[in-house]
């Protein structure tokens, strides 16, 4: 009865690696280990699993507050962005991209909660924030987008 020791493993969506941004897939593989964990092992080939698109979902609700912050270089303006994460989303990690003065989006950081603070860097007059599920490499991916703010005027 060789199949008696076969074990089923379930991996939660939140434990999967970042989505590969170019083709919107997860790259995963597994390892088979001998029963005594010393004699032999084998890695599987890499499987590309299609990630579910977030496009059909409604974008997440968000709010923001303009704050005055004191930094080592003086007083500055910051935006505190908050968003509501539905339990059905299946992730609690978010990539943050920032666009300053209608430029292009630049990766700003990763958040492990539903809030993030973006500080005004110099003389920009508007900031726009895009939040998406994590991707690799860190680039804006339309299928991973959760929400995008309107241009927010900063003094």
Structural domain boundaries in the chain: 12-50, 62-153
**62-153 has which CATH code?**
2.60.40
**What's the pTM value of the predicted model, to 2 decimals?**
0.74
Q: What is the pLDDT of residue 56?
A: 40
Q: For residues 75-97, give the mean pLDDT.
A: 88
3-state secondary structure the chain: CHHHHCCCCCCCHHHCCCEECCCCEEEECCEEECCCCCCCEEECCCEEEECCCCCCCCCCCEEEEEEEEEECCEEEEEEEEEECCCHHHCCCCEEEEEEECCCCCEEEEEECCCEEEEECCCCCCEEEEEEECCEECCCCCHHHEEEECCCEECC
Q: For residues 24-34, give the mean pLDDT.
A: 81
The listed range with the strongest mean pLDDT (36-40, 64-68, 84-88, 120-124) is 64-68
Q: What is the pLDDT of residue 34?
A: 77
Give the pLDDT confidence of 92-146 residue by residue, as tens digits.
Answer: 889 999 999 989 999 999 999 999 999 988 888 999 999 998 888 899 988 888 9
Please tell me which residue, 29 or 107, carries the higher pLDDT value.
107
């Amino acid at each position: 009865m060789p199949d008696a020791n076969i074990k089923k493993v379930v991996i939660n969506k939140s434990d999967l690696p970042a989505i590969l941004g170019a083709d919107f897939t997860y790259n995963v593989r597994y390892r088979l280990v001998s029963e005594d964990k010393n004699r032999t092992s084998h890695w599987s080939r890499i499987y590309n699993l299609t990630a579910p698109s977030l496009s059909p979902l409604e974008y997440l609700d968000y709010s923001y507050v303009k704050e005055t912050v004191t930094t080592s270089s003086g007083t500055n303006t910051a935006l505190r962005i908050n968003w509501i994460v539905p339990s059905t989303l299946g992730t609690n990690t978010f990539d943050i991209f920032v666009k300053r003065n209608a430029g292009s989006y630049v990766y700003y950081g990763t958040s492990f909660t539903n809030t993030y603070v973006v500080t005004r860097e110099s003389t920009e007059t508007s900031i726009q924030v895009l939040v998406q599920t994590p991707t690799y490499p860190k680039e804006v991916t339309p299928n991973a987008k959760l929400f995008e703010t309107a241009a927010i005027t900063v003094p």
